[in-house]
Amino acid sequence: MIKVGIIDSNQQSRGMMSMLLNHQQLYNFKVTLALDSIGGCKKVKPNEEPHVTLLDIAHAGVDAIPAIYRKFPHTNVIVYSDIQDSDTVLECVKAGAVGYLTKDTSVNDVISSIMATHRGGSVFSPSISRNVIRHVQQTLDYQASLSFREKQIVEGLMNGLSYKLIGYKYGISLDTVRQYIKRTYKKLNVNSKGELLAQFR
């Protein structure tokens, strides 16, 4: 038996998916939890821990993923959501999601994705895969445009160095460091240190 969890604030969506999974004929599925929020997991018994958990992050947010793993260390989280932007998808993967399906995914594809995940694989909706690939390719193109010195300064920032320490390390003035960083922001199309570092993680 493959135990499945569903965490979705939309009652109709949650109920429909629960019914479809429990009544499909191909595999021995059992929906052991169907909750509107991560908070309800506290009441779930250990023997009801799902092998695979479908999570809608629309209201729960990305932080729900590590919270699920803290409660259910042996589950596999598949995000099941209408949110499709590549930044969110990558944040979910970094947080531990092993799959990402859009809510227009057919029931048969959801079922096959649960099986693939339970067997150790990962499944992403085609549109999600294309968006992530495009994002990664664009990031690599941007990074390739940086000069050797600009890459050194980014490395310094990633290591937690201040502008002053970066200047000291590479023998350049503080104003020169700021000019390099300004040029790097422009080349990478970012507006803050956080956005800059996110592209290199």
CA nearest neighbour of 149 among 135, 166, 161, 174: 166
Residues 156 and 121 in one domain: no
In a domain, 140, yes or no: no
In a domain, 33, yes or no: yes
CATH number of the domain encompassing residue 158: 1.10.10.10
In a domain, 139, yes or no: no
Listed residues 109, 134, 159: the one ending a domain: 134
Residues 98 and 193 in one domain: no
Residues 15 and 111 in one domain: yes
Residues 102 and 161 in one domain: no
Listed residues 104, 134, 164: the one ending a domain: 134
pLDDT by residue for the chain (201 residues), tens only, comes to 999 999 999 999 999 999 999 998 888 999 999 999 988 888 888 889 999 999 999 888 899 999 999 999 999 999 999 888 878 888 898 899 999 999 999 999 999 999 999 999 988 888 787 777 776 666 666 677 788 888 888 888 888 889 999 989 889 999 999 999 998 888 887 888 887 777 776
Which residue is it, tokens 């956005």?
195
* Total domains, the chain: 2
Residue 184 CB neighbour total at 10 angstroms: 22
Listed residues 90, 108, 134: the one ending a domain: 134
Which residue is it, tokens 């949110």?
83
